[in-house]
Amino acid sequence: MKKLSLLVAMVIIALLAVFGAGGAAAAEEILVGNIQDLSGPNKAFGLATFNGAQMYFDKINAAGGVNGMKLKIISYDTKSEVNEAISAYRRLCDLDKVSIVIGPPIANMGIALAPIAEGKKIPIIGLYMDERATTKPDGKPWTYMFLAQNSSGAQARTIALYAVKDLKLKKYALLYNQQNAYSVSLVEPFVAYVTENGGTIVAKETFMTADKDYRAQLTKIKQANPEAIYMPNYPQEIPLTLQQSFDLGIKATILGNNSYIPFALASNTDPKASEGVYFPYGIDPSDPKLKEFSAQYEKKFGYPAITQAFSGWDLGGAIVEAYQRALTASKKPSGDGLAAELAKTRDFPGFQGAFTISPKTHRPLGLTMYILQVKGGKPVTLIKLIPPEEK
C-alpha cells in the first residue's frame, strides 16, 4: 500500500512539473524558440548562432521592439542528439507556443526536423547547411524550413573553385566522416565540381564518429599521392586529422570547411600541422566594417565572434523583418503567415551581404564567400568569391 501511494505521489509531482513548465506569452512578447547544441563538442557553433540572433533582438528590443512587442528567446540544449532536437521542437510548439524557431547549425538535425515542421507548421530558420534540410528530394522546398547562410553545396563549390582555378590543382583525395550529414553534404558537391572541371579523385577515405585514429586511412591517401586533400570535418576531428596527416609526412595542400575557425587555429591545433591550410568562410574576419560588432560580441560573451555569429545576426534580422511584414496582415501571425514572409526576405542588410532568400529553395541567394588560409596558427583572408551555381 505504501508503495502504491508513493507511486501516485511521484506521478502527480511529475505531471505538475510538466504542466508547470510551459507557459503562455505575456501580452507584449514575441516568443522565439531556439534549438541549439549549447553543450558538447559542437557548442561553439550553436552558441554563436544563438548569440548573434540574441544581439540583433537586443538591438530591436532596445529600440522598442516589434510594434511595441519585445522578442524573447526560449532555448533548449540539443546535446548533439537528433532526438533531443525533435523533442525540443515539439515542446516549443506545443508547450511553449512559440511563433518561430531558430534552428541549429547541424545538418543531421535539420534534415530530421524538416518533415516534422511540415506537421507542426511552426517555421524554423537555421544554419543547417545540407540542402536536404531545406528542399525535398523532388526539389520543392520544405514549407517551414529556411537557411541563413550559404548551403553546403555553395561552400564546397567555392573551395573547389579556388583549388581548381587559382591553385590549379588536379589530383584530389578526400578524408571525412561518413556518418555525418554535414561532411557528406560538403564532399559530394566538391567532387562534382572538381571532376567537371578536369580534376580527378585519387583517393577517398572515410572514418566513423567514434574513430580518433585516421592513420590507416591517411597512409592510403599518402600512397595515392594527391596534390590536395579535402577534409571537411567536425570540430573535434579537425585537429586530429591535421596533426596525424602532418605526422605521417603528407605534403599535399589541405582544404577545409567553415569549421576551421577556430578549430584549425593555434591552441586547438599544432601550428606546424595547420600551416598553409585553405578553407572557405562566410565573412572576412579582418573587415573593418565587422570590427565593431566583433568587439561588442567579445566584450559581451568573452570569446571572439565566428562566422556563425554573423549569420546568426542576419538570421535574427530575417525573423524580425518577416514578423513585421506578417503583422500588417494579422495581429497574431500564424506559422503559415510567417513562413510565407520568410520566403520573401529580400536584401536585408546583413553581415554576410545583401541577405535574400530564394522562395524556390528557401536558401540564400548570391551571398559571397571568402577564402582564408592559416598562417602561423592564424587566419589570413585571401580573396572574395561568388559561389558557383548549382547545376
Partner 1 sequence: MEASQFLSVAMQQIVNGISLGAVYALIAVGFAMVFNVLKFSNFSHGGVLGTGAYLGYLAALYLKLPLIPVLLIGMLMGGLVAVGVEFVAFRSIRKKRGQLVYFFVTSVTMLMLLEQILVIFFGASFFTYPTMIRTTSFSLGGINFTVLYLVMMAVSLLAFGTLAWALKYTKLGIAIRAASNDLTTTNLMGVNVDFIVMATFFVSGMLGGLSGVLLGMTYTLYPQIGQLVVKGFIACVLGGLGSVTGAAWGALALAVVEVSLIAIMGAGLSPAVIFAIMVAFLLVRPQGFAGVSFQEKA
Partner 2 sequence: MDYIITVAVFTAITTLGVLGTFVLTGLTGLFSLGQAAFMGLGSYIAALAVVKYDVPFPLAVAMAVVISVAVAYVIGYTTLKIRQDFFALVTFGFGEALRSIMDESVKYTGGAMGFSGVPQLTTPWLAFGSLAAAVWLVRNVRKSKFGRDCLAIRTDELAAQVIGIDAFSHKLKVFLLGAGLSSFAGALMAFFTTYVEPGMFGWIQSAIWIIMVFFGGRDSLTGTIFGAATLSALPEILRFASQWRVLIYCVIILLIINFRPAGLFGRWELSLENLGLKHRRVGPGIPEGKIHG
Q: Which residues are at the interface with partner 2 (CB under 8 A)? A: 1, 3-4, 7, 10, 14, 17-18, 21-22, 39, 76-77, 79, 81-83, 86-87, 90-91, 94-95, 107-108, 111-112, 114-116, 119, 130, 132, 178-181, 184, 208-209
Q: Which residues pair with 150 in a beta bridge?
A: none
The number of angstroms, rounded, from the C-alpha of 18 to the middle of its chain's C-alpha atoms is: 31
**Closer residue to partner 2 (CB): 111 or 242:** 111
Q: C-beta of 236: minimal distance to partner 1 in Å?
A: 5
Gyration radius of the chain over CA positions: 22
What is the number of other CB atoms lying within 10 angstroms of the CB of residue 10? Answer: 10
**Closer residue to partner 1 (CB): 93 or 252:** 252
Q: Which residues pair with 255 in a beta bridge?
A: 230, 278
Burial 38-70 (b: 16+ CB within 10 A, else e): beeebbbbbbbbbbbbbbbbeebbeeebbeebb
Tell me, residue by residue from 286 to 325, as one string, x for binding to partner 1 by CB under 8 A and - for no binding.
----------------------------------------
Tell me if 254 sits within 8 A of 278, measured CB to CB.
yes
Q: C-beta of 62: minimal distance to partner 1 in Å?
A: 31
Indicate whether 205 belongs to the interface with partner 1 (CB under 8 A): yes
* Inter-CA distances, 120 with 19, 117, 249, Å: 20, 5, 52
Indicate whether 335 belongs to the interface with partner 1 (CB under 8 A): no
Grid cell at residue 151: 548551403
* Inter-CA distances, 95 with 25, 68, 98, Å: 11, 24, 9
Indicate whether 200 belongs to the interface with partner 1 (CB under 8 A): no
114's contact among partner 1, partner 2, none, with CB below 5 to 8 A by partner kind, is partner 2
Tell me, residue by residue from 172 to 191, as one string, x for binding to partner 1 by CB under 8 A and - for no binding.
------x-------------
Q: C-beta of 343: minimal distance to partner 2 in Å?
A: 21
Indicate whether 61 belongs to the interface with partner 1 (CB under 8 A): no
- Contact with partner 1 (CB under 8 A) among 40, 304, 377, 388: 40
Q: Which residues pair with 373 in a beta bridge?
A: 278, 380
Indicate whether 87 belongs to the interface with partner 1 (CB under 8 A): no
- Contact with partner 1 (CB under 8 A) among 41, 119, 359, 376: 41
Give the strand pairing for 228-230 and 171-177.
Answer: parallel
The number of angstroms, rounded, from the C-alpha of 12 to the middle of its chain's C-alpha atoms is: 40
Grid cell at residue 25: 506569452
**Closer residue to partner 2 (CB): 106 or 322:** 106
Show the CA angle centred on residue 204, arms to residues 198 and 209, nearest 5°: 140
Tell me if 383 sits within 8 A of 370, measured CB to CB.
yes
Tell me which residues in 66-85 interact with partner 1 (CB under 8 A): 79
Indicate whether 378 belongs to the interface with partner 1 (CB under 8 A): no
Tell me if 30 sits within 8 A of 280, measured CB to CB.
no
**Closer residue to partner 1 (CB): 93 or 221:** 221
- Contact with partner 1 (CB under 8 A) among 118, 213, 287, 298: 213
**Closer residue to partner 1 (CB): 221 or 318:** 221
**Closer residue to partner 1 (CB): 293 or 303:** 303
- Contact with partner 1 (CB under 8 A) among 200, 267, 286, 296: 267
Place of cell 605526422: 247
Tell me phi and psi for residue 71, to 5 degrees: -90, 130
Q: Using CA atoms, how far apart are residues 293 and 296, in angstroms rounded to an integer? A: 5
95's contact among partner 2, partner 1, none, with CB below 5 to 8 A by partner kind, is partner 2
Please name the amino acid found at residue 235: P
Question: Is 253 in a helix, a strand, or coil?
Answer: strand
Closest CA to 155 of 198, 113, 187, 114: 187
**Closer residue to partner 2 (CB): 109 or 252:** 109
Q: Using CA atoms, how far apart are residues 250 and 31, in angstroms rounded to an integer? A: 51
Indicate whether 215 belongs to the interface with partner 1 (CB under 8 A): yes
365's contact among partner 1, partner 2, none, with CB below 5 to 8 A by partner kind, is none
Report the interface residues with partner 1, using CB under 8 A: 39-41, 43-44, 79, 178, 205-208, 210-213, 215-217, 219-220, 223, 235-236, 239-240, 243-244, 246-249, 267-270, 272-273
